[in-house]
Structure 1
């Protein structure tokens, strides 16, 4: 089957350097989910955006046209002076300097903080902004479209998802010729001259290099129905996660690419072998651990490189320890040791009593845990009952709430609510938020009994499920 979506580089491997600031217990302002759609001229960006919007039926989506095409309805183009108008054929509309990026950033920051904005209405006949502007109200989702939306790092930082529409250059040129000659009444020789002088060089210098920043690359643009469907389903999943992240500022879902989603597909598949399950689970766990380490406090440090140059870097907090909730949490210990050589790791065993009761069976914690930052390890957060019990124990040892980072692969909304309402200063880092938990307190859709699948004790999954529930030991999906 032909690949419908190409993946960008491993963006999720990048560690974000974030200081551990104190968390507010008040609800943060809801922020929009911003989708950036870039690509060359006439690549089909607008078609892709319209298809996404039409399939997000129940979502309130506003399309912000930064640059729809390089020379059509580009709201943030600079108005041309009389001098530039006299030499219009020498003006490059595909260069980053042609756009008022500062104004775009200002407007997007206002929208991000729930403020309405009036964006310019650009007239392509006069090449000036009209007196009237267009009012854009705050929304849950914005699609920011244009040839250069992935070029500027400050604009990229505003995006929750970055898409690049990749269409063959010959197809794009033929579309541009048809559009400019039929819709704009231009001479074909002028179209080809401008393409060769400005459009193609700008594409190669500015637009094509920005492709590497995309989370998702769509070959063939709007003709790729399968890719659009996958993206829409992915957006709907992320919107559900995004709502919780807007409610709780201490919840961090790592940036998802289709590579990460592909690994989730493999470890969730009931037919996946134990060997493959462990391999891909370890890869995801490593990503979660590395992302969680990015939330540790750090200080700046200047060092001398082998070339004799001065480099200003950072040094992370070194007083760490890991605490795994037996037994699924033990599957995350190798990744933590690989990232933090020599780290101390403690263990907690909690026994399930009924639907909500929890009994502490065993604990082995570092004696000096109160002076350390704690990475709490458990692959699954379901109802949150066991996690609450474990966190309460750690706090009783004198660990400040803000010094605890809870790392897991998937979480259910119920577990997130249970922890965040009771411990608003604890950081939760996960790779995906699932829809719910079922009557057995198992995460849905989940991935089965994580401990049994990881440690190879799931030869008879139905028997194992009954066995663990009767014994009271947690499975993947039982309340943590």
Structure 2
């Protein structure tokens, strides 16, 4: 009997996974944008959006424009509303800003929910409410004295001069450069930017020239994105690293309009990936061999006494992938029938006679409530299989099933490709993929 019995309601919203929010601050021309672009260029499998603080500068009325030189455009702005919506996975419209007219433009940019949101600007670490939304806070520090920072600021001011002045002051007027530095740039740096450095989780010296720091940051982001919260609770739970390929295949097999042929094709691809990941958890020993060139290669050999056990019927869909990876592997069968809402009855079992001496791959593509899995694992233990020798392979798992299995069998490993949101009132995985066995074998 399958772990999941029906397609999820079409109106049910997909599970929401909060984006990883990064704040990148630092002085003017410190290399913030370069650091952001370097991070983005290495995030190959994630959706990344860059939000610039400059988009949220004050938009001045005609009356205020008459005294434009009185306004400090480097003063912290309220990004809170926009960032809160992005954090909740909602689409937002980010205004454009014309530095020449000192007004927001009508050409707003729509930003969709993403895996990673990078907020870049000189003051993004100043407001504690915005900081609280961040998963990582970075301060780009050039390590230069303020006198050199002024040179950087001077370059910035010259650029703004081409747009019509800096803070509304025509830079061709004598003494304007000194006024800008003393009235706006340096006070803002001292009051808002430099003190925010203490809130940073990571300080990057030399900005974009620090390749080592960028690589370490990207590795940390990849780790956090690939680690489900339940993996932090259960050391025996493993979720294969998500990529656009994996997400694309999940999109196809979950779609109610996908044909049986396509469902089987992409389900087989995902199953093969889960099986190969599961094989990586087998014990191994080092071995030296000689290559055809006469060279010595130090490799590994894995434990050879393996078998698979499929929970009929959906689990049988995973047998071909296991056979393709493990030539001649023995495969047993377990049939479990549901009794009411939570009961399970063992109907049939046929297992290798020497299963107690083997490592066992338990096969079931969907882990829902965990009742069938608990019944199957209990049977394996009664046959003498060591709990630590069981690796449970599936495509999707619900949190309820993970809790039920991992709490009861902490030494057994679970390998899955995605953790779904929850179960509905009928114990169906949400958003799920429907009745897996019927869709795979064409019996719906």
Q: TM-score range by the shorter chain?
A: 0.5 to 0.7
2:191 corresponds to 1:160 = no
SS at match of 2:134: strand
Tell me how large the CA RMSD over aligned residues is. 4.0
Question: What are the Cα deviations for residues 178-235 of structure 1, in whole angstroms up to 9, with x where unaligned?
Answer: xxxxxxxxxxxxxxxxxxxxxxxxxxxxxxxxxxxxxxxxxxxxxxxxxxxxxxxxx7
Deviations 1:31-90 (A, max 9, x none): x99788863499997538998776114995436455xxxxxx524x6x589xxx9xx9xx
Q: Rate the CA distance shift 1:56–1:317 in 2: closer, same or farther, 3 A.
A: same
Quote the residue 1:355 is aligned against.
341
2:417 counterpart of 1:431? yes
Distance across 1 between alignment mates of 2:20 and 2:298:
32
Residue aligned with 1:318, SS: coil
The structure whose Rg is larger is 2
Q: Against the structure 1 CA distance between its residues 42 and 373, is the aligned structure 2 distance closer, same or farther, given a 3 Å change threshold?
A: closer
Q: Which residue of 1 is the match for residue 332 of structure 2? A: 346
Q: How far apart are residue 398 of structure 1 and its match?
A: 1.1
- Tell me if 1:280 matches 2:352: no
1:47 to 38, 41, 51: 51
| Aligned position for 1:56 | 87
SS, match of residue 262 in structure 2: helix
Q: How does 1:248-267 map to 2 (within 5 A)?
A: 248-267=234-253
Q: Which runs of 5+ in 1 are unaligned?
A: 1-31, 67-72, 89-124, 139-144, 163-234, 459-480
What's the offset of the Cα at 1:299?
1.3
When normalised by structure 2's length, the TM-score is 0.58
Distance of 2:317 and 2:52 partners within structure 1: 41
Whether the aligned pair in 2 keeps the contact of 1:53 and 1:61 (CA below 8 Å) is: yes
Once the 2 structures are TM-superposed, how far is the Cα of residue 345 of structure 1 from its aligned partner? 0.6
* Residue pair 1:252, 1:428 contacting (<8 A) in 2 also: yes
User: Structure 1, residues 340-388: CA drift from partner, whole Å, max 9, x if none?
Assistant: 1111111100011111111111111111111111110000000000000
Structure 2 Cα separation of the partners of residues 35 and 318 of structure 1: 45
2:383 pairs, out of 373, 378, 397, with: 397
Give how far 1:316 is off: 1.3
Relative to structure 1, the CA distance from residue 419 to residue 41 in structure 2 (aligned partners, 3 Å threshold; closer, same or farther) is closer
Give CA-to-partner distance per residue, 1:97-136, whole Å, 9 cap, x none.
xxxxxxxxxxxxxxxxxxxxxxxxxxxx9xxxx8996145
- Residues 212-223 of structure 1: matches in 2 within 5 Å? none
| SS, match of residue 407 in structure 2 | helix
Mapping of residues 7-156 of structure 1, within 5 Å = 39-40=37-38, 47=51, 55-57=86-88, 61-62=133-134, 64=136, 66=138, 74-75=140-141, 79=143, 134-136=198-200, 156=218
Distance 1:438 1:132, change over 3 A: closer
* Cα 1:151/1:453, change in 2 over 3 Å: farther
* Residue 177 of structure 2: aligned partner: none
Taking structure 1 as the reference length, what is the TM-score of the superposition?
0.54
